[in-house]
Amino acid sequence: MAYDKDNIFAKILRGEIPCKKVYEDEHVLAFHDISPQAPIHVLVIPKGAYVSWDDFSQSASEAEIVGFVRAAGRIARDLGVVEPGYRVLANSGADAGQEVPHFHLHIFAGRRLGRMIAPARD
Ligand code: AMP
């Protein structure tokens, strides 16, 4: 899938729409999810134009990948969620329900998060 430069996270990166920023560096921006599914729900996105985890893991530079992974760990530590724990998740593609076509990692924390995957609905 080609990258859509008008997706909502691209607009956030360009400053065209606001976000509640929690972290930013050369490669990464992190902000609170607009519709949180846990007491803490933060999205971590690369600044580069990658559609999905598949695209990012295949096409991003070593510096972008290392920067992203280090930043995600640091953000969780800064949020104070290493204890009692947190979950990271990336939806990639249709079956996973990916809604925004700019790669992002979800960080969930602040309560018992339950089962890793919801029971099948079909
Ligand atoms: P996904 O289903 O993995 O693609 O997740 C997309 C996430 O982006 C959802 O949790 C949405 O609530 C969140 N989201 C959509 N628009 C915004 C926005 N403008 N600011 C912050 N989070 C957003």
Please tell me the predicted confidence (pLDDT) of residue 91: 97
CB 27 within 8 A of CB 64: yes
Please tell me the predicted confidence (pLDDT) of residue 3: 97
DSSP per-residue string spanning 10-71: HHHHTTSS---EEEE-SSEEEEE-SS-SSSEEEEEEESS---SHHHHHHHS-HHHHHHHHHH
Please tell me the predicted confidence (pLDDT) of residue 118: 81
| Strand, coil or helix: 97 | coil
Of 43, 45, 117, the one to substitute when testing ligand 1's pocket (max ligand atoms within 8 A of C-beta) is 43
Percent of the chain having pLDDT more than 90? Answer: 93
Considering only CA atoms, which of 6, 16, 68, 17 is closest in space to residue 43? 68
pLDDT in tens, 10-26: 999 999 999 999 999 99
Please tell me the predicted confidence (pLDDT) of residue 63: 98
Rounded-to-integer distance, Cα 45 and Cα 26, Å: 12
Distance, CA 66 to ligand 1 centroid (Å)?
23
Please tell me the predicted confidence (pLDDT) of residue 107: 98
Please give the chain's pLDDT, 122 residues, in tens.
Answer: 899 999 999 999 999 999 999 999 999 999 999 999 999 999 999 999 999 999 999 999 999 999 999 999 999 999 999 999 999 999 999 999 999 999 999 999 999 999 988 887 75
Distance, CA 20 to ligand 1 centroid (Å)?
12
Q: Is 88 in the pocket of ligand 1 (CB under 6 A)?
A: no
Q: Is 83 in the pocket of ligand 1 (CB under 6 A)?
A: no
